[in-house]
Structure 1
C-alpha cells in the first residue's frame, strides 16, 4: 500500500484539520518544555538545593537527548509508522513528566528530563511528517505548515507565561505534571483520527548511520552547552567538539556510500533545502539567544516576577502566531526568497533595537517594539523555510526531512544560547570588577558569578545600592553586545537567503 493510499480518507474530509489540531497540541507540549523550566530555576535551587551546574543540566539534559535522537526517530517513523512514533512518544513523555514532577533530588530530575527528551524526539518529527502525508494539496499543505510553525514560535514564547502561572498557584512539579493530561488527550484523539503512514520501500536498516548520527550530534551539542562554563578552549570542550565534528564527517561519507542511507546528504547540495536549513538555524540562534537575555533583563534588572515577565512576552507569541500562517499566503505571491530574507532582516532589526535598551527602558516603548519586530520576522521566516525543506523531499521520507528541520532548530537555538551567553559573560564579569574598585574581593567574586547573585548580595550589604547599580550597568553592556551578536547572525541568514533561495516558490507534490 502506498503512502498516499493510506491517508486518502482524511485528505477528502475536514478530519485533516482535526488531525492538525492534535499534532499542534502534541507539538506545543514538547516545545513549551524547552523554556517552561527556566522560570522555575530559582525555586528548584531552593527546594532541591540545586547548584548552578545542577540547574544547567536540568535544562540541558532535555535539549541534549532531544537533539541527539531527532534524526534517529524521524528515520524510525518513516520505517515503522509515524503514528506509532507519535503515540509511543506521547506515552513516554507523559510517564517521564510524572517522574520529573515527583523527583526528590536534582539527580532524579535531571534523569527524568533526559527521558523526556526521548519522548520529545519521537513526537516532534512525527508531527510534521504526518502533516506532509495528510495534506497532499500543495496550498493546504503550505498553510498547515504555516500553522505548525506558528505553534512552534507560540510555544517558545508561551513557556515563561505558563511556567509563571503554574508557579504562582502550585508547587514546582506542576510545570511537568501539566503535560500528562495534554499527552493523554493527544494520544486518544490521535488514535481515533490519525491514519498510519510510512515509507513503503524502506530498504535496509542503516545501523552505522544511526549510531554515527546520535553520537555526532550528542558530542557537538554537549560541547556547545558546556563551552560557556568550561571555556571554549578547555580540553574537554575542544576534544568532545572535535570528536563530534569528525563523527559528523564520517556520517556524511558513510551516507554517500551506503545503499540505504538514513539521510540523503546530497540534499544539502539543493539550494532550496540547504538555504532554508540555514535560515531556520539563524532564526532560532537569534531567538533563543535573545530569550536567554530578555528573561534575565525583565526579572533581574527591571524587577518583574516570573509571571509578570512571562506575561510581557505574550505579544511576541501573538505576533508570531499571526505572521506564521500569513507568511504562506505572502510566499505564494512574492516567492520564498523575498519572504524569508525580509523575515530575517526584521529579526535582525529587532535585535538591533533591543541593543539600545537601558536598565530603565519603558516596556511600552523600545522593549515591546523590539519584540514585535523580531516576532513578525520570526513568523515570516520559519513557515516558508520549513515548507522549502519539506517540499524538497518525497512524502515517504517526510520523517527524516522533518528531523533535519527540527535538528537545525535545536542546534541553532543551542548555539544561540551558548554564543550569546559567552559574549554576555565576557563583558558582565570584567565590567563589574572595573566598576567596583575598593569593594571586598569576596563580594565582587560572588556578584561576578551572575546578575542573580549580585541582586541577592545587594540586599545583604550596606553598599548594596552601589553594587546593584554597577551590576545593572555591567549587565546592560553584556545584554547590548549579545543582542548585536543575534542581529549579526540573522543578518547573515538574510544575506544567504537572498543568495541561495529560489526567487519563486515552486509547488512540489508530496508523492
Structure 2
C-alpha cells in the first residue's frame, strides 16, 4: 500500500527539471547582454559619428531602429515560439544576435550600421519574450518561479547599468566596433549552453498561423513607437506623428478585435482581464518609463554639467543597478512577509520618492542627491520582479508566450514613453531658461541659437566655437533646473502608477502560490 501511495505521489507532483537552475543561468546571461546593448550605444555614439559621419537623420535611425524592431516583432516572436518551440526561437535569436554583431567588422557606412542594428533588434525580439516564457515552463513550483523571476529582473537592471560602463571601458582601448563584437563570444557560448541544458516547450493549443494578425501587430507597434518618438521630439502638431498615430490606432484596433474573436489568437488579449496580470503590466510600464528617462537625462547631466567622462558617468550611474540587483532576488521573500501587493506598489512609491528627491533636496544639485535618487529608483525597479511573477503566475503555462509578450511590450513602450513624455518636460524647461533674447544678447542667433536651445550638448558646442563662456554656464544652469522639474513630473507619474497597482492587485495575492 505504501509503495502504491508513493508511486501516486510521484505521478501527481510536478516534475522539477534537474537542469532548471543551469537553464536560468543561460537565460539570465542572454538577457544581460540584450539589456546592455540597449545602453552601450549611448557611449559609442561619439566615436561612431566621428568615423562614419552619419547625417542627423541617419544618426537618429542608428539609435531608434533597434527599439523599433524589437517592439514591432515582440508579439510575432512570442507567437512563433509558442508554435515552433521556445528553445528553437531562443537559439535562433542567439545566432541572429551573434552574427549581426560580427557583421560590424564589415561596416564602413551609416546605412550599414543601421542594418546591423535592425538585425540585432530581430535577435533581441526573439530572445526577450522567450526568456520569460521558458522560466514559466522551467519552474513549475510557484515559489521557485518567483525567485527565478527575481533573479531575471535583477539581470535586466544590472545589464542596463553595465552597458555604459562596458562601453566606456572598451572604447578607452579599442574602436567603436568592440561595443558590438563583445556580443559574439557570449552568444556562441549561450548557443551551446542552451542546446545542452534547456528543454524544448511549445503551446499545444497553437493553431494555424495568423498572417494578417502578424502584419497588423508589426505595423501597429512600429507606428505607435514612431508616433511617441515624433511627438516627443517635434510636438503634438507634428504631421508625421499624427499620421503614425492614425496608422497605429487603426492597425492595433483591428489586431485587438481580431485577437478577441479568434479561438487561437496570436496574442491572447483576454489575459488582461486578470487583475494581477494587469497590475504587473502597469508595474513594468511605469518602471520602464522611469528608468529610461532617468538614465538619459542624468547621464547627460554628469557628462555635460559635472564634466565626467563616459566611463565615469557609467560608474556613477551604478546605484540604481546595484539597488535593483540586490533587492530583486530578495523581493519574493519580502513579498511573502508583507504581501506582493505592498511590494509592487511600495516599490513604485520608493521610485517616485527618488524622482522627487531631485526637486526637494537643497540646491545646488549635487551627485550625492543624484545617487540617492538613483538608489530609490533602483529599489523601485526591484518591484518589477514581483510584477513579472504576477504576470507569469496568473497565466496558464500554455499562454506563457502571450503573457511574456504583453510584459515585454509594456517595457518597450515604457522606454519610449519615458524619453518622449518626461524628456519633453525637461526639454521645455531647458528651452525656457535659454530664451532667444538672452542668446541674442550673447551674440548667438539663427541656426546657432536654435542648436543651443535644442540640447545642452549643442549649447556647449556653440559656446566653445564662439568663446561664449556665459552661454555654456547659463545652459548648464538651465539643464540642472530642467532636471529638477523633471523629478517632479517623474515622481508624480510613479506615485500614480503605485496607486493604480495597489488598487488593481487582489488583496492577499501570492506570487508563490497563484496560477
TM-score (norm 1): 0.94
Where structure 2 has 5 or more consecutive residues not aligned to the other structure, the ranges are 1-10
Q: Does 1:367 align with 2:370?
A: yes
Distance in 2 (alpha carbons) for counterparts of 1:328 and 1:101: 43
Which ranges in structure 1 are unaligned for 5 or more consecutive residues? none
1:455 to 455, 460, 470: 460
Instruction: Give a deviation string over 1:237-288, Cα, whole Å, max 9, x none.
Output: 0111122022111111111111211122122222111121112101111110
Distance 2:391 2:451 in 1: 47
1:249 paired residue number: 253
Instruction: Flag the 1:102–1:420 CA change in 2: closer, same or farther, 3 A.
Output: farther
Matched, 1:92 2:90: no
Aligned-pair Cα RMSD in Å: 1.9
Is the CA contact (8 Å cut-off) linking 1:224 and 1:418 kept in structure 2?
Answer: yes
* Whole-angstrom CA distance in 1 between matches of 2:106 and 2:71: 25
Moved more, 451-460 or 191-200: 451-460
Counterpart for residue 176 of structure 1: 180
- Residues 102 and 181, structure 2, Cα contact 8 Å, conserved in 1: yes
133, 138, 142: which one aligns with 1:134: 138
| Deviation at residue 93 of structure 1 after TM alignment | 0.5
Task: Describe the SS at the equivalent of 2:263.
Answer: coil
CA 1:489–1:193: 2 relative to 1, 3 Å: same
Deviation (angstroms), 1:163: 1.0
Matched-pair contact (CA < 8 Å) for 1:94–1:183: yes
Residues in 2 aligned to 1:66 and 1:354: alpha-carbon distance in whole angstroms: 32
Q: For 2:454 and 2:51, how far apart are their aligned partners in 1?
A: 21
Q: Distance in 1 between matches of 2:410 and 2:165?
A: 25
Q: Matches of 1:117 and 1:279 in 2, distance apart? A: 24
Cα distance, 1:356 vs structure 2: 4.8
Label 1:12 to 1:88 Cα distance change in 2 as closer, same or farther (>3 A): closer
Q: In structure 1, what is the equivalent of residue 386 of structure 2?
A: 384
Match of 1:316 in 2: 320
Task: State which of 402, 417, 420 in structure 2 corresponds to 1:418.
Answer: 420
Residue aligning to 2:283: 279
Task: For 1:28 and 1:502, locate their aligned partners in 2 and report how far apart those are by CA, in whole Å.
Answer: 31
**Is the 8 Å Cα contact of residues 219 and 240 (structure 1) preserved in structure 2?**
yes
Q: 1:298 aligns with which of 299, 302, 311?
A: 302
Distance 1:183 1:358, change over 3 A: farther
Equivalent-residue separation in structure 2 for 1:245 and 1:161 (angstroms): 39
Q: Distance in 2 between matches of 1:30 and 1:332?
A: 30
Q: Distance in 2 between matches of 1:484 and 1:496?
A: 18
Q: Deviations over 1:321-356 (max 9, x none)?
A: 011111111112222211111000000000111235
Contact 2:288 2:415 in 1 (8 A): yes
Q: TM-score, normalized by length of structure 2?
A: 0.93
